[in-house]
Structure 1
Amino acid sequence: MSTPQRLEEIIEEFSGLPKEFKLPMLLEYSRKVPPLPEYLANNPDLLEQVHECQTPFFLAEEIDESGRVQIHFDAPQEAPTTRSFAGVVYEGLNGLRAEEILAVPDDFYTRMGLSEVVSPLRQRGISAILWRLKKRVRADLEARQAS
């Protein structure tokens, strides 16, 4: 398993922070989730729900011809922790090659020191977001190879 450079920078940024600054920094990432493109906003059936999240959370991905993945998330504004997790994943992984995303350690967030400020239940949310994203990327790659 390997951590992409941008995600590693985010992990290091968090791990070096004192506990009292981790939650405010995490919440900053909630603003980094861009709105859904119009075609996804108008076709919610193209999104997959991440049922493990406490709040309604949906994702979609697209792999372009060069194998780079565009990630799309939909989470309510009133769910800042979930949106923050999405922002971390988006900032750390969007635009990377599919293989790079599949190689990300499933528990990368533990190195961020979030257990000091976020409950285990919430931490499972970020784990589920990554797991579902990887599952969809893997399925996309398999479908491409089959065709």
Structure 2
Amino acid sequence: MTLNEVQDQIVEEFSVFDEWLDKYDYLIELSKELPPIDEKHRTEQYVIKGCQSRVWVDAEMHDGQVCFTADSDAIITKGIIALLIRVLSGRTPEEILGADLYFIDRIGLRENLSPTRANGLLAMIKQMKLYALAFQNKKP
């Protein structure tokens, strides 16, 4: 499935909810499906700066694709990072760097987050793209 097909799938999943409270409940459900991050990555080195809650993100390169793991101490934020991982993990650095993450606006996420959470969202995306950039620059 392409990056945009995954985004379209997310937009479709969220379209069944009329109320934002229902969308938050869905984010909470998604947070429960996020595989746990290795305990050694729950350190300051992996914390995303600019997030109100604590969010840890790690990335590894496997067969030319960036694979992300993450966790958060806030359940809504964990649901948001689960969505970002679903869209970006398993992609090449080039795909990640070129990604237009339109699903964020289409599901109404950005407009329904507090300013501090919206800043955190941008910080998560920035960190994931920085990992992709680092892997892209490591290529022979």
**TM class by shorter-chain length?**
0.7 to 0.9
Partner SS state of residue 42, structure 1: helix
Residues 50-65 of structure 1 aligned to structure 2 (within 5 Å) = 50-65=48-63
Partner SS state of residue 130, structure 1: helix
The 8 Å contact of residues 23 and 117 in structure 1, kept in 2 or not, is answered as no
Q: Does 1:9 align with 2:9?
A: yes
Separation in 2 of the partners of 1:44 and 1:144?
27
C-alpha distance after superposition, 1:69-97 (max 9, x if no partner): 11011322xx1111111111122222122
Partner SS state of residue 129, structure 1: helix
C-alpha distance after superposition, 1:86-127 (max 9, x if no partner): 111122222122222222225641221125643232122222
The 8 Å contact of residues 31 and 87 in structure 1, kept in 2 or not, is answered as no
Q: Which has the higher contact order (CA 8 A, sep 6+)?
A: 1
Are the structure 2 counterparts of residues 124 and 27 from structure 1 closer, same or farther at C-alpha, using a change threshold of 3 Å? Answer: same
Separation in 2 of the partners of 1:25 and 1:122?
17
Q: TM-score, normalised by structure 2?
A: 0.82
Cα distance, 1:15 vs structure 2: 4.2
- Out of 123, 127, 130, the residue aligned to residue 125 of structure 2 is 130
Residues 91-130 of structure 1 aligned to structure 2 (within 5 Å) = 91-105=86-100, 108-115=103-110, 117-130=112-125
Gaps of 5+ in 1: none
Are the structure 2 counterparts of residues 16 and 115 from structure 1 closer, same or farther at C-alpha, using a change threshold of 3 Å? Answer: farther
What is the count of residue pairs matched by the alignment? 138
Q: TM-score, normalised by structure 1?
A: 0.79
C-alpha distance after superposition, 1:44-84 (max 9, x if no partner): 5695221111112111111123x1111011322xx111111
Letter in 2 for 1:35: P
Letter in 2 for 1:92: V
Q: Does 1:32 align with 2:33?
A: yes
Partner of 2:24: 23
The 8 Å contact of residues 63 and 69 in structure 1, kept in 2 or not, is answered as yes
- State, as a whole percentage, how many aligned pairs show the same letter: 27
Partner SS state of residue 50, structure 1: coil
The 8 Å contact of residues 59 and 67 in structure 2, kept in 1 or not, is answered as yes
The 8 Å contact of residues 62 and 69 in structure 1, kept in 2 or not, is answered as yes
